[in-house]
A = this chain, B = another copy of it.
């Protein structure tokens, strides 16, 4: 950032303290995948005029943290998890977007594996809910815009980078991975082509294990090979789905 040469430092500081007063917040679109559905963690709003609307989870940015740290803090506070996959998406700044004054918010999306513990946080707190993305209607503030943008970004990234694994358990079957892609991208994929492509990418570890307790032929289990991906990333990588 930089300022016109005409302004001096004292003018500038006093401006910030008076008419340029602005709050900065972070809002997180926390995506979770649940074998069937893509979900987002929402919070029941208690703020006029949005009572009983759901909103994204967010908070003001504190003086001792940057935006990434702020997003991480919010994620940990809400989910109890650390080091989630997380991506800054955009800043939202319309004058009237927040009823209490000028609040500019920076949106992040993040990805979590929806296991029982995580589903429980919405049971232990009446105000939290894992809503299916498809079922979300009117949210508080401009959070529908934010959600739409984050979902678009997720879809783009899912096609280009191996981030889908963040939404699955460590060990997964190829069918689970395919289902994830089909659900999130809202399309149908050919089983054989999908498997061939994944095999060619060489980013999966064959665990030599199979499912148990299924009443059909058990599927092989795989894990994401972070190292193999890192090595290949340098010379360009495109998931290409």
Contacts from A to B (Cβ < 8 Å) = 1-5, 9, 12-13, 15-17, 19-27, 43, 45-47, 55-68, 88, 90-91, 93-95, 98, 100-106, 127, 140-141
* Cα of A58 to Cα of B62 in the assembled complex, Å: 24
Question: Are A21's CB and B17's CB within 8 A?
Answer: yes
Nearest chain B residue, comparing its CB with the CB of A22: B24
Question: Are B59's CB and A3's CB within 8 A?
Answer: yes
Chain B residues, Cβ within 8 Å of A25: 1
Give, as a whole number of angstroms, the nearest-CB distance from A19 to chain B. 6
* Cα of A12 to Cα of B141 in the assembled complex, Å: 17
Pick the contact of A21: B2, B4, B16, B102 (CB < 8 A).
B16
* Cα of A97 to Cα of B198 in the assembled complex, Å: 42
Please state the number of chain copies in the assembly.
Answer: 2
Nearest chain B residue, comparing its CB with the CB of A57: B2
Chain B residues, Cβ within 8 Å of A43: 2
Q: Which one of A22, A43, A55, A106 has the greatest number of beta carbons of chain B within 10 Å?
A: A22
- 15 additional contacts, CB 8 Å, given A1-B98, A2-B58? A1-B27, A2-B55, A2-B56, A4-B59, A9-B100, A15-B60, A16-B23, A63-B95, A66-B93, A67-B91, A67-B104, A68-B93, A88-B90, A88-B91, A91-B106
Pick the contact of A23: B20, B55, B68, B95 (CB < 8 A).
B20
Give, as a whole number of angstroms, the nearest-CB distance from A107 to chain B. 9
Chain B residues, Cβ within 8 Å of A13: 100-101
Chain B residues, Cβ within 8 Å of A16: 21, 23, 60, 101
Question: Are B2's CB and A27's CB within 8 A?
Answer: yes
Q: Which one of A9, A56, A104 has the greatest number of beta carbons of chain B within 10 Å?
A: A104
Give, as a whole number of angstroms, the nearest-CB distance from A64 to chain B. 7
* Cα of A45 to Cα of B26 in the assembled complex, Å: 30
Pick the contact of A3: B15, B58, B95, B106 (CB < 8 A).
B58
Nearest chain B residue, comparing its CB with the CB of A8: B46
Question: Are A1's CB and B103's CB within 8 A?
Answer: yes
Chain B residues, Cβ within 8 Å of A93: 24, 61, 66-68, 106
Chain B residues, Cβ within 8 Å of A62: 20
Question: Are B56's CB and A3's CB within 8 A?
Answer: no
